[in-house]
Structure 1
Amino acid sequence: MQPLQQQNAGYDRAITVFSPDGRLFQVEYAREAVKRGTTSLGLKSKEGVVLIVDKRTVSRLVEAKSIEKIFQIDNHIGAATSGLVADARALIERARIESQINRITYNEPILVGGLAKKICDMKQMYTQNGGVRPFGSALIIGGVNGEEVKLFETDPSGALIEYKATAIGSGVQAAMDVFEERYEDDISLEDAINLGLDALYEATEGRTTAQSVEIAVIEVDTQSYRKLSDDEVSEYVEALLERNAEEEEEESEEEAEEAVEEEADETAEDEASEETSEDVVDENVTEESVGEKDSEE
């Protein structure tokens, strides 16, 4: 019988062919492209949706403003991307077209979930047609339907899941750990921004700066998409860095106190062992003295 690797050989060359264990390797490779991208986050709050992205540049010569990871789809919908930038741009353009078609046809804004499903339908078609490949990009689509706040994540396979808070990209695990621990259903928009930045800080291992962060919000009150200005982002990031500096200082103090306590415990143990040794020596001396007296008698 042939080894499993030989059995699977060639199944990753055609998008429309399943492997013997039911996998589409090209779709999995597209997911890997997303995992290699920078981290993007989305959170729901009772006041709206928050989208945050890390647009860290690979060179100081790159103009940070030229890197787009957050896009406006319609007045009430925005999207954050991770993965292949060109693929994401194509999906964003398609989403904008679908939104305008709905507005012209029905004279009303498209539902956030309806738009997300249309994008996922398009993604799914690119997993079963010959001569094409899956989109190597994932989207977090957020928006408001009247008083309802919606947040969806789309997968390269065309899968669609609604979330309260989610992340995509290279730092997804660290960010989701923060969300799992600290997210609350009644979180305010302000707290959601701070929580998202805390998650991004963990995802980037502390390499978060005002120049590398982009934030957008879609509020229930205004029913409109708004990207935060550079000054607003700087204020949030400065507060983030101050919080983490204080936490690191507290941790350092606790570690120093623990080190002092451990040293004190070790010193006490050493003194106790020395006293025990002295007692043993005294007992031995006493026994020898008694033995000598007995022998003299």
Structure 2
Amino acid sequence: MFVPQAGYDRAITVFSPDGRLFQVEYALETVKRGTISIGMITSDGVLLAAEEQIDKFQDENFSRKLFVLDDNIGAALSGYVPDGRVLIDYSREICQNHRLVYDECATVEYVARRISDIKQAFTQQAGVRPFGVSIIFGGVDLDKIPKIFVTDPSGSYVKYFLAAIGNKSDAALSFLAKYYTNKITLEEAKMLAAAAIKRTSISEKQIKIRFLE
């Protein structure tokens, strides 16, 4: 639980006396309240999995947490979904522009870094707020090596072999770490990801999986 200090929790561009940006911390808390998403490097490529909470009368296209950005790159998000949709649109634009200029797919890291730059800028500009969403970018570059990068509201991005974001992601990671190896196959990864997400108390019908190779 956060304890506001003076006006530092309202101004995103001002550090508190103990070196904290409260609005960024609030955005990170928003991610923790979102449904879980998982990224996993397998022996065959990259697996992305997510919980999607869909009302039975709702069009599932409006609750998606998994997205295709280009032929070689996908993304899974957790947190404030409207913020995520904006960043997914930015990501697709980045991929399209790179393809038009260089006649090849952008790398996974390039897209993750560009989105992280946008997120970071929103932590230091007046009149805006941080994006309340974390994104797992996964895919296979021209070097045929599967890669996963995770961006968070602070603007940082980190490379992983196995990642989870959202509600109970720490518990999911602890479970995944018991069984994950870099030789895991796609089918094994599907079962492992589904089992990990089930441990966050949702039904299998709400689990969506995408694979990139």
5 Å matches for 1:106-145?
Answer: 106-145=102-141
Listed as ranges, the gaps of 5+ residues in structure 1 are: 220-297
Q: Which structure's CA Rg is the greater one?
A: 1
Counterpart residue number, 1:208: 203
5 Å matches for 1:1-297?
Answer: 8-57=5-54, 59-146=55-142, 147-202=144-199, 204-205=200-201, 207-210=202-205, 212-219=206-213
For residues 178 and 209 of structure 1, the distance between their equivalents in structure 2, rounded to whole angstroms, comes to 17
CA displacement 1:188-246 (0-9 Å, x = unmatched): 111111111111111x23x3222x11111102xxxxxxxxxxxxxxxxxxxxxxxxxxx
Listed as ranges, the gaps of 5+ residues in structure 2 are: none
For residues 105 and 78 of structure 1, the distance between their equivalents in structure 2, rounded to whole angstroms, comes to 21
Shift of 1:106: 1.2
Amino acid of the structure 2 residue aligned with 1:215: I
Q: Which runs of 4+ in 1 moved over 4 A?
A: none
Higher relative CO (Cα under 8 Å, sequence separation at least 6) belongs to 2
The structure-2 alpha-carbon separation of the partners of 1:65 and 1:95, relative to structure 1 and needing over 3 Å to count, comes to closer
Amino acid of the structure 2 residue aligned with 1:43: M
Amino acid of the structure 1 residue aligned with 2:43: K
Name the Cα RMSD after superposition: 1.3
Amino acid of the structure 1 residue aligned with 2:211: V
For residues 51 and 157 of structure 2, the distance between their equivalents in structure 1, rounded to whole angstroms, comes to 23
Give me the TM-score of the superposition, normalised by structure 1. 0.68
For residues 61 and 73 of structure 2, the distance between their equivalents in structure 1, rounded to whole angstroms, comes to 21
Identity of aligned residues (%): 44
Amino acid of the structure 1 residue aligned with 2:179: R
For residues 11 and 31 of structure 1, the distance between their equivalents in structure 2, rounded to whole angstroms, comes to 16
Contact 2:32/2:167 (CA < 8 Å) preserved in 1?
yes
Match of 1:195, SS?
Answer: helix
Shift of 1:44: 0.4
More strand by share: 2
Counterpart residue number, 1:247: none
Match of 1:152, SS?
Answer: strand
Match of 2:130, SS?
Answer: coil
Number of aligned residue pairs: give it. Answer: 210
For residues 64 and 173 of structure 1, the distance between their equivalents in structure 2, rounded to whole angstroms, comes to 27
Amino acid of the structure 1 residue aligned with 2:193: G
Counterpart residue number, 1:264: none
More helix by share: 1
Match of 1:129, SS?
Answer: coil
